[in-house]
Amino acid sequence: MRRPQGGQPHIQPIEYDDGAFVAEPEDGELLVIRRVLHAKEIEPDGQRETIFQSRCTMKERVCSLIIDGWSCTNIASTTLVEKLGLSTTAHPTPYKLQWLSNGNHIKVTQQVLLSFSTGKKNKDEVLWDVIPMDACHLLLGRPWQFDREAKHYGRKNNYTIKHQKKTITLTPLSPSQIQVTKTHKKPKENLFLSERSVE
């Protein structure tokens, strides 16, 4: 809106016989906020290089969760199973799970059936293979994605799933929330002695 030299804005319409009018633009000082030409660059979306990480609730405890489309199985960490005192069953077909490098493998011999919730309304139950894992407490792999007709939307890094005749959208943690999760982990105990402690 422009203010004329005298103070209050005024519009002098051109009136026509039928009651219609055209309002001409005013002259005067312009009261508009304009963008600064040297605006701070907005950081790119943090989800571009981030795998899907979230949190879920299990037995009234919050647990870390990753959805990984390249994992051939659903995995629960041995830490989670031990801390929650969960009972496991023998895996019907034990197998070796190989990670990123040749020669490193873990024998999978145990399974656990767990109920968990993501959000207030989505409750799910999954059969997990139990192995030692530091990345998260629960890793949902291809079996869960297949069973829930999961669709990943890369730009937003979210998933939609179908469960109990409902379509549910799962949203990821932001990079800053992921960082907070990492900093809350206890530092590993240092078993080295200094010269002073030996003397």
Is 183 within the bounds of a domain? no
Q: Sign of the CA dihedral 88, 73, 137, 164?
A: negative
Is 85 within the bounds of a domain? yes
Is 4 within the bounds of a domain? no
> In this predicted model, what pLDDT tens digit does every residue of 22-41 receive, in sequence order?
555 555 555 555 555 555 55
Classify 67 as helix, strand or coil.
strand
Q: In terms of residues, how long is the chain?
A: 199
CATH value at residue 56: 2.40.70.10
More confidently predicted of 147 and 194:
147
> In this predicted model, what pLDDT tens digit does every residue of 133-179 receive, in sequence order?
888 999 999 999 999 999 998 888 889 888 888 888 988 888 888 76
Count Cβ atoms within 10 A of the Cβ of residue 137 and give its class: 0-12 exposed, 13-18 middle, 19 or more buried: buried
What average pLDDT does range 58-83 have in this prediction?
A: 91
More confidently predicted of 158 and 109:
109
Q: What is the DSSP letter of 20?
A: -
Is 96 within the bounds of a domain? yes
Is 29 within the bounds of a domain? no
Range of the domain at 57: 52-148
Instruction: Provide the whole-model pTM.
Output: 0.66
Into how many domains does the chain fold?
A: 1
**Is residue 67 within 8 Å of residue 145, measured between CB atoms?**
yes
